[in-house]
Every structure is written in structure tokens, then in C-alpha cells.
Structure 1
Amino acid sequence: MSHVVGIDLGTTHSLVAALDGAGRPTLLTNRLGQRLTPSVVGLDAEGRLHVGESARTQLLVHPERTVAEVKRRMGRDLPVTLGDRRYSPTEISALILRALREDAERALGGTVTEAVVTVPAYFSDAQRQATKDAGELAGLKVERLLNEPTAAALAYGVDHLDAEQYVLVYDLGGGTFDVSVLEMFQGVLDVKASAGNNQLGGSDFDQLLAGWLGAQFERAHGVSLAGNLAAQVRLKAAAESAKIALSSVDAVPVLIPFLAPGRGGAPASLEVEVTRARFEGLVTDLIRSTLEPMESALRDAKLSRKSIAEVVMVGGSSRVPLVRQLVAEYFGREPRAGVNPDEAVALGAALQAGLKTGAMSAARGIMITDVCPFTLGVEVQASAGRERVGGVFSPLIPRNTTVPVSRTETFATTVEGQRSVEIRVFQGEGRLVRDNLLLDEYTVEGVPPARAGAEKVAVTFTYDINGILNVTTRVVSTGKEAVLVVDKRSQRLGPEQRTEAKERLAREWGTAPAPTAPVSASAPATTDSDALLAAAVDRLASAPASVRPRLEALCNDLRAAREKGDRVAAARLDAELTDLLFDLG
């Protein structure tokens, strides 16, 4: 039996969900029995690929063979190096999707060949195309990309079908921020406007706090950690743990033993207390920067703050108290409670998968619309008195137009005897193309030579429900057409490259380790001593005071045994350390 699932392909974590027998969306667990799978890919010393918890553990000790937060590289020509292998961001995302697909098949007891995958509302066309390519490489048919705030609204709206109200979804994840304004009425979720920043998220909070922690180490030991990749990774991991803890406490100790050599060359540790006030002082400007997209979305939807009946906050970073405080102050009331920030997007994707297959339509009668988040248009020349000025942006599809949509504009030639027309496609809100993002360009040949302005070229933009743009040009006098799928080929894998990549990833994925038995989320996911030590060191800061001396002693003894080459002692200490970590849970 084949299943269609919903996937939240996140910056920090990814989730997969499906409808249960009662037609309710439910999250599926991975091979470790966990709902959240870290969006981390690693290559171990034996050349095996890891995805998820084991890769995240490896990141602490072998960052040169591990990659995280690849979502931020999607749609850009930024290759990823894992050891001696090179991958594109699309291929890394494909490995994550493949792991999720296999986990879903294990949980559902059948094959999974199709998925609804969510993307930030403010993802560009190139980023959306790259996400669809990743699905193809993972063996998934991705006919529908669903904007993350829309998915979250669907998860919320399925239990409020009788409500007639405006809802604002504030989605602050690990690497992206989106806000969408929707109208709900009679089972319809109508997206009115979206705005956001696809380079803002909790990872930026972690980076600022990690920078502060690094400065404290340098102040204490007189050594800069700049350029020390291993230390930087451990600082960021400690910063993330502290950030999470500070959502429920006012201060948290950060202890990172043996972080780097000190001034005299001996291993030096970092031990410092981080207060919530300190953390908030570091991130206030970033959090306040989310106000402008909210205001922009409300303006485009032609609504006031008072018009919004419910504010739904999703994305793990929305748990930061200062974020909720800012949103509460902005709207004059507390945001909606009862929505799981981590899970809402995946659950909404599963509902959309159910709508697509027909499993939801008869029983629920839900319908959703979405919008184009950017203005799309072409470069033209404009008259300025007797002069003609180039580089002017002529919009065809204004931002927040309901999709799917098709718009046509007709343009005239500008040069005597002109035989071709160059079409340059941009997205953005600037009056001049230099202030916008070039999506693609091509040349239309076969224009009959005539006086300037005599020949006309009709340009049609078709923006589909997945947020992917097709451009058609037609020479009016001859009917000759040219079609462009805007896909930034320089940043995508071509058809042959996709075939080769799919085969290569399948071969390399075949060397991945077999599934392991479920373990505690904080227990090590591998018995490799490096990863085990990293997990133990990471656990030191939060271990009970009564256990911390023994845990630290075991770490020191294991290092010493390995340095001496005493395999018997190392194996015994490995076992003791593993048992202690499992006991801690």
C-alpha cells in the first residue's frame, strides 16, 4: 500500500506526519522513537552516511565531516564538503528526506512515494525548485509545496471550521521567519498576505550567544577561538542548550570542559553563568526586526491589528519568552495557546496530503488558498522626456496575489530593425531592477525587423500553487512563442545531473548503518568513543551535582586510556560512560 505524507523540512529539525485511520493528522516517529529528526548529515570514518541524532552527535567532534542548517543554502551555489566528498545543498536535503521517507515507511508499514513538503512562505523560486529536486532525489514525488505558515494555519483551522475570523500566523523557526495573514470562513482558509525573512531564525540567536561565550573564554584564558572550528561548534551547541533552558529559568550555568588550549597550552574550560537578561540583550534587535514584516503583511491585507482575532505562534524559536512578549505587546493580548510550535507545520502538511488524495474533502470540506509572496516582473525601458531609460522594473504579478495566477502584458520593441528581445525576469519591490533579485533571463529570436515600437511581444507569467514561475513570450505579429521555466539552472541540478545524483546517493545511502534500537533523546546514538565523549561533555553542564564528578572523571580516564592505547581499559570505560549517560536519560 502506498501512502502520501506531509513533511516539515526544517532548518534545525524535520518531521513527517500522516493521517491516521480516523482522518486525524499524526506525527510519525523515526528509528529512535523520536518525532523530531535533527536536520544534520554526517559522513563517518568508514564512509557511512548518517542522518539525524547520530550525525548531530558527530558534529561536535568531526565538524569537517558533518553539515547542519543546509536549508539556508538551498537554491544557492554553495557546495557542501563532507570529508573527501562534495555534495550540493539539494543532495544533502535529499538525504534528510530519504531518511524521513524510510522512517515513514517503517511506521506505516507500506511504501511512501509522494509527499507534501513545506517551505518558508518567503522562499524564492530557486529555493522552491531546489526543494522539489531534493524530493525527487529522495525517491519522492513532490507535486505540492506548501508554505509553512499556511500549513500551521491549516493545523489550527481544522478544529475551528465554524469560525469566521482573521488569523495571523507568526512562524519563527531555526533559520527562517514568516508571517501570514489568513481569513477563515465556512471551512475556507484564504491567505491574504505573507511577508518574512528567509535568513532569520533561532540559529542567529545561538550564534550571537556563542560569540558572547567565546568572548568570555578569551577574557578568561587570553586565547581567541576564532578559526577553531571544533570549539566554535561546541560553543554553538552550548548556546543552543542555554537558549532553550532560558525559556523556563532566569539563569543557567554553561560548562564546556577542555574547550581549547589555554595560554600555556594546557586544556582550558569555559564556565560561566548566562542570565535571561544577558541573552535578551543580545537578541533584542533581531526579535524586533520581525515587527516590520508583520506590519507589511497587515498593510497588504488591508487590516488593522484589532482585526486579528487569533495570533498563532509556531516554530521552535517562538518559545523564547521575549518573542512572545513582543508579539503580545504588539497586538495588546496574549497569542493563542495550545498549538505545538514544533509540530503544527508537519501536521498541516499531512492534512494537505489528505486533501490532495481526497481523504479529507468529503469529511471536512476544507479549502485553502495561498499567495505569491514577491512581486514578479520584467526589465523594460521607460520614456523620460525624449530619452529612454533602461533598468526599469515592470511588475506583472504584484506580491500577495492569490495563486495560481496568470497575467499577460504586451511590450513594444525599442530599436529600429530589432530582431530579438531580451527578457530578464526579476522579483522584488524596487522601482529599478538593480534593487531586485534577478531570477532568470533569455532571448526571444525571430522578431520581424520594423520601425521602433511597431512590433509587439506579449509576456505571460504563470505562477503555480507551488510558487514556481513559468514565463511565455509570444511575438504578436507572427505568433511565435518561447517558454521559460524560471529555475536558475546554474544553481540547480540539470536532468542528467539529477539522474547521476540520484544513483550516487542511492549507492552511498546503501552503506548507511542499520537502524538502532530506540534510545533516550539525550543518550548517545553511536558507540564511537569520540561521539560518546562529546555527548558526555555536553551532558556535564546539566548533570546533577552529585553525578558530575563521576561523569567528569570517566571522561578524563577514557581520554587517558585512548592516549595510552589501552584498548581494554577504553572498552571498559566506554561501557561505564554509556551506562551512566543512559541512567541520566
Structure 2
Amino acid sequence: MAVYGIDLGTTYSCIAYVDDVGRPTVLRNLEGTDTTPSVVFFESPDNVVVGATAKDSAVLEPDLVVSRIKRDMGQEVPRVRHDRPYTPEEISAFILRKLADDARTATGETVEDVVVTVPAYFGAAERDATRKAGHIAGLNVIDILSEPIAAAITYGVLNPDEDHTILVYDLGGGTFDTTVIRLQDGDIEVVCTDGDHELGGADWDDRLVEHLAERFQAEHPGAGDPLLDKQSEQQLRRDAEELKKTLSTRTQHVVRVVHDGRVATVEVTREGLIDLTRDLLDRTIEITRRTIDTAAAKGVRSYDHLVLVGGSTKMPAVAETLQKEFSLVPRLQDPDLAVAKGAALYAFEETYRRLLVAGRREQAEDMAARAGLSPDQQERIAGRTIKTVASRAFGIVVTDKETRRRGVAHLVHANDPLPAAVTQDFYTIDDNQTGVDIEVMEQAGAVESESPEDNGLIAEGVLTIPPGKPAGLPIEVTFALDASGLLQVTARERETGEELELRIQIGGMSEEDVAESRAALSRVQVS
């Protein structure tokens, strides 16, 4: 009964499982690499290509390629290819299909049960969209796991007999977050988290792209802007990413920028890259400092380790700046693969525990035996607990009866322990109201705010009210946020005791839409 962990990244993704000696192992793709570019090339309506070949195709056919789709998760922003609109969930499903298919080739087993990771700072809509992407791909998503928790699991396995308080600094290709985690007796407790899901290594790439284009124009002012030509732009993006990686090991590098039959030779130094992107790194430092302050308010004032996760933490400036700002020695924790490995361990352990709870001890013991786990290891897995927190505040829009001013009443607050179930009464403001609009809002800024403009609408619905009711009718609203950060909202009119219950759909795709997409896209060839 193999279960898998998937790191679904903005720029690169990978899949792992627990092998027959109990080790988390990343499975290489058909191209022979541990990670797969999160790029989709719509070669035809019936055939899509995912990975390195798709990334190469972006230079020649940029209009048929989609990348960085993770940043659109939870939003209704379809991409049209071959006259068909594809949702972010559907595009992500193609990436998941590629990972699962390649893993099947590597192991000889069909991939079914998976845990998919998301940034700690992902909200309810993004998490729900990730779960739906897995279902569209034909996978059984047994859980959605925050990336820093996955990294902490990997860290804990490497240091099983030590208790630690760690600060996880996770700078991936498209997202950033920091999380304070306690590891004690094998248990994992998230103290607090913060981040920005639109800040990552891709932004460093963008700065280099702009710099290379500017240097080209300065040398060839009559040639036009290479960023206005899609093929030139895509080539610049590839060059910028390679340049960034090269400058992690070398102090300078030369790039040839080709556009409109002209060539410019541009030299970029490591210090030059730091100057170009200083404000981006400063934003991560600001968020990290905010996280440390939040943890201090919860009683955490010292750290055993600062763990770096995410491929972008390989940039030397990251570790140097963190050590200077916080007097902590950063340690790279298998930055590209730690999240997938931790997800695989979590998937294995969660499946093992569920088998025990379901009374299927023989199956659980067989599963553990095939992974070579000792009785002590089995006991530790069975007893492990993971406690996490809400990444953001969630609430509903309320209207003041006198001023008619709209504001957001938050029921769940950022860094509240999960799972959380909060019920609160609200009241109608007009006589003979026939319904109540329920608008579910999620904190959009760095801090909680009552202003609707500082929150994002993630779901809405209408609750019908029986006729003839006066103002002041109580409406009971319940927010239930589970340990994975998935949200369910119910609202009902309490006075009559009638079961007027509203279940609000989070995200753009309904479960019916997901089922239809799963059936339709199963006929598309993914390679």
C-alpha cells in the first residue's frame, strides 16, 4: 500500500515515497531528474507536455505554454489554449498527472493516495483548489500539508532524539513563508506562521530579465525592446534563471542577449544581483522579523536552528543576510527535496494511523514491516501529533444597522490553533428581509483589518429567511477550519429552529465541476 508525497511547486515539482527500508525517497522522472519544471505545453487539444520539454517549448510557442500557475490557485483566472479555457486547478492537475505517471513507471505501482504540500501562508481557497487539482488528476488526496511542516518532519527524522525549536525560512520559486515550529518527543507544533504567496525566486528572475533587456536596449537603442517579443522574452527568462543559479556558485557570469538580429554581451556579478534584488530579500527579512515577534508574544524567545528550505535559499546572500540580521547560523535542509520527502513520511504515517484507528491492525503492521520499521518506530509513528495554526484571519461581511457601513467580522484569526470551530450570532437589520448575503472574507494584507478592501472575497452565498420576520432575527454562522486549513462555513436562521443551512462553496470550481473536469481531462494524453 504505497502512499506518496508531492511537492507541487511554482517553478519545480517532485514526488517521493517511503522505500522498503523506511527511507523517504524522491522518484526521478522519465527525464532522469529529481524535479520536474511546473510548466505545461498544450501541444494539441488532446495532448499536453509537462516538464523540461514544455519549458523548452516556451521559447518557440509561448502562447501555448503555461508556467507559474501555482500563483493563480484559488482564483478564477482561466488560461485559454486551443479555444478551451483551463482553470488553475486543471493546469495543476496536468502537472500532478505527470508526476504520478512517472512515479508509476519508476515503481511499477499505480499512484493513488497522495499528500500534496502547499505554502504555509496559502489560504482556504488556495488549499481547496490544490485538493481539487489532485482529484481532477485522478488522485485520492488524503491531506493537504503545509510545506514547513513537511520540512520539519524530514528534519525530525534526521534528528529523532533531539527536541528543538526551529525557524523555517522557506523561499521557493514563487512563494515565501516563515514558520516557527517546536519539535518535542517526536511531536510537531506550529507556533506561528507568516508569508507572502507572491514572493519567490521567480521575482529574482524577473529583475534579471528586466536588467538584461535594459542593457540590450542601451547597447542597441534602435532594435526595440526584447520584452515586447514573446520569443525573445522567453529566452531571456531562461537565461535569467540560469544566470541566477550560476551566480550562486560563481561571482560573475556573462550572458549573450539576442534580439532582432543583434547581440549584446552583458556581464552580471553576484554583487550586482544583490543590488538589483535587495528590496525582495528585505521583504523576506521583514516577514521573518514579524514572525519572530509573533512567536515571542507566545513565549518563544530562542531558537536551536534556522532551517532553510526551497531552492532559492541556495543564493549566498540569503544565508549571509539572515545570519547578520538574526544572529542565527542557517542550515540548508536538502532545500530542493526536503518538502517532498517530508510529505511522503507524513503520508505513510497518516495512512498507518488511519489503518490502526479503523481496526485494520494487520494491514498496518504489514505496511510497517514492508518499510522495515522496528516496533519502537511503529509506536512513535502511532503516537505522533502535529498541531498547526491558521495562516490568516477569516470572517464575514457585516453591515451596521445605523450607518450602513460595511465591515468584516473575523471569526478565526491568524495563528489561531487548528482545528478551529467558531460559532457566532449575527442579526438582520431590516424588517421583512427575504434573505441574507453571506460573504466569506480572508485576510489579504499583512495584518488583520476590518476594512473589506483589506480582505479578499473567497466565497459567497444567500441564506433564505422565512417571510414576515422583523429586524434583529438571529443568524448563526459557524466557521470550521480543519487541521489542513480547509474551510467549511454554515449559516442558519435559529429562531424557528428550521434547518435552513447553507454550505458555502470555497473557490471557483464546485465538486460537480471537478467531476466533469476529471472525466474530460482523463482523455487528454499527458507526457
Q: TM-score, normalised by structure 2?
A: 0.89
Pairwise mapping of residues 123-522 of structure 1 onto structure 2 (< 5 A)? 123-222=122-221, 223=223, 224-256=225-257, 259-261=258-260, 267-301=261-295, 302=297, 306-337=301-332, 339-358=333-352, 359=368, 361-364=378-381, 365-382=383-400, 387-428=402-443, 429-447=448-466, 449-453=468-472, 455-480=473-498, 481-488=500-507, 491-492=508-509, 494-509=510-525, 512=526
Task: Give a deviation string over 1:68-125, Cα, whole Å, max 9, x none.
Answer: 1111122222222445554222111111100111111122221211100001111122
- CA distance in structure 2 between the partners assigned to 1:281 and 1:395 by the alignment: 40
Q: Which amino acid aligns with 1:410?
A: D
- CA distance in structure 2 between the partners assigned to 1:282 and 1:225 by the alignment: 19
1:330 CA displacement: 2.1
- CA distance in structure 1 between the partners assigned to 2:86 and 2:435 by the alignment: 38
- CA distance in structure 2 between the partners assigned to 1:471 and 1:351 by the alignment: 31
What is the match of residue 545 of structure 1?
none
SS at 2:439's partner residue?
A: strand
1:47 CA displacement: 6.2
Q: Which amino acid aligns with 1:353?
A: A
- CA distance in structure 2 between the partners assigned to 1:452 and 1:82 by the alignment: 50
What is the match of residue 17 of structure 1?
16
Superposed CA RMSD in Å reads: 2.1
- CA distance in structure 1 between the partners assigned to 2:244 and 2:69 by the alignment: 21
Task: Give a deviation string over 1:175-226, Cα, whole Å, max 9, x none.
Answer: 0001111112111110011110000101110011110100111111122223
- CA distance in structure 2 between the partners assigned to 1:166 and 1:330 by the alignment: 18
What is the match of residue 558 of structure 1?
none
Question: Is the 2:10–2:68 contact (alpha carbons within 8 Å) kept by the matching residues of 1?
Answer: yes
- CA distance in structure 1 between the partners assigned to 2:338 and 2:481 by the alignment: 26
1:414 CA displacement: 2.3
- CA distance in structure 2 between the partners assigned to 1:501 and 1:473 by the alignment: 29
SS at 1:158's partner residue?
A: helix
Question: Is the 1:382–1:390 contact (alpha carbons within 8 Å) kept by the matching residues of 2?
Answer: yes
For structure 1, the residue ranges without an aligned partner over 5 or more in a row are: 262-266, 514-585
Question: Higher mean Cα deviation, 393-402 or 4-13?
Answer: 393-402
Question: Higher mean Cα deviation, 46-55 or 470-479?
Answer: 46-55
- CA distance in structure 1 between the partners assigned to 2:99 and 2:245 by the alignment: 25
1:379 CA displacement: 1.8
Task: Give a deviation string over 1:463-493, Cα, whole Å, max 9, x none.
Answer: 11221111112322222331324413xx22x
- CA distance in structure 1 between the partners assigned to 2:438 and 2:77 by the alignment: 27
Q: Which amino acid aligns with 1:5?
A: Y
- CA distance in structure 2 between the partners assigned to 1:83 and 1:393 by the alignment: 41
SS at 2:3's partner residue?
A: strand
- CA distance in structure 2 between the partners assigned to 1:393 and 1:439 by the alignment: 13
Distance 1:59 1:226, change over 3 A: closer
Distance 1:440 1:45, change over 3 A: closer
**In percent, how many aligned pairs have the same letter?**
37
Distance 1:49 1:422, change over 3 A: closer
Task: Give a deviation string over 1:504-532, Cα, whole Å, max 9, x none.
Answer: 322221xx56xxxxxxxxxxxxxxxxxxx
Q: TM-score, normalised by structure 1?
A: 0.81
What is the match of residue 26 of structure 2?
27
Distance 1:399 1:46, change over 3 A: closer
Distance 1:139 1:45, change over 3 A: closer
1:166 CA displacement: 1.6
1:361 CA displacement: 5.0
1:300 CA displacement: 2.8
Q: Which amino acid aligns with 2:518?
A: K
What is the match of residue 36 of structure 1?
35
Q: Does 1:100 align with 2:104?
A: no
Distance 1:304 1:341, change over 3 A: farther
Question: Is the 1:125–1:486 contact (alpha carbons within 8 Å) kept by the matching residues of 2?
Answer: no
- CA distance in structure 2 between the partners assigned to 1:111 and 1:290 by the alignment: 40
Distance 1:499 1:472, change over 3 A: closer
SS at 1:336's partner residue?
A: strand
What is the match of residue 519 of structure 1?
none
SS at 1:104's partner residue?
A: helix
Question: Is the 1:470–1:483 contact (alpha carbons within 8 Å) kept by the matching residues of 2?
Answer: no
- CA distance in structure 1 between the partners assigned to 2:10 and 2:437 by the alignment: 37
Question: Is the 1:39–1:51 contact (alpha carbons within 8 Å) kept by the matching residues of 2?
Answer: yes
SS at 1:410's partner residue?
A: strand
- CA distance in structure 2 between the partners assigned to 1:46 and 1:119 by the alignment: 29
SS at 1:308's partner residue?
A: coil
Q: Which amino acid aligns with 2:514?
A: R
Question: Higher mean Cα deviation, 194-203 or 409-418?
Answer: 409-418
Question: Higher mean Cα deviation, 44-53 or 225-234?
Answer: 44-53
Question: Is the 2:46–2:523 contact (alpha carbons within 8 Å) kept by the matching residues of 1?
Answer: no
- CA distance in structure 2 between the partners assigned to 1:475 and 1:323 by the alignment: 53
Question: Is the 2:434–2:464 contact (alpha carbons within 8 Å) kept by the matching residues of 1?
Answer: yes
Q: Which amino acid aligns with 2:442?
A: Q
Distance 1:304 1:217, change over 3 A: farther
> Matched residue pairs, number?
495
- CA distance in structure 2 between the partners assigned to 1:475 and 1:310 by the alignment: 50
- CA distance in structure 2 between the partners assigned to 1:399 and 1:463 by the alignment: 12
Q: Which amino acid aligns with 2:78?
A: P
What is the match of residue 525 of structure 1?
none
1:305 CA displacement: 8.0
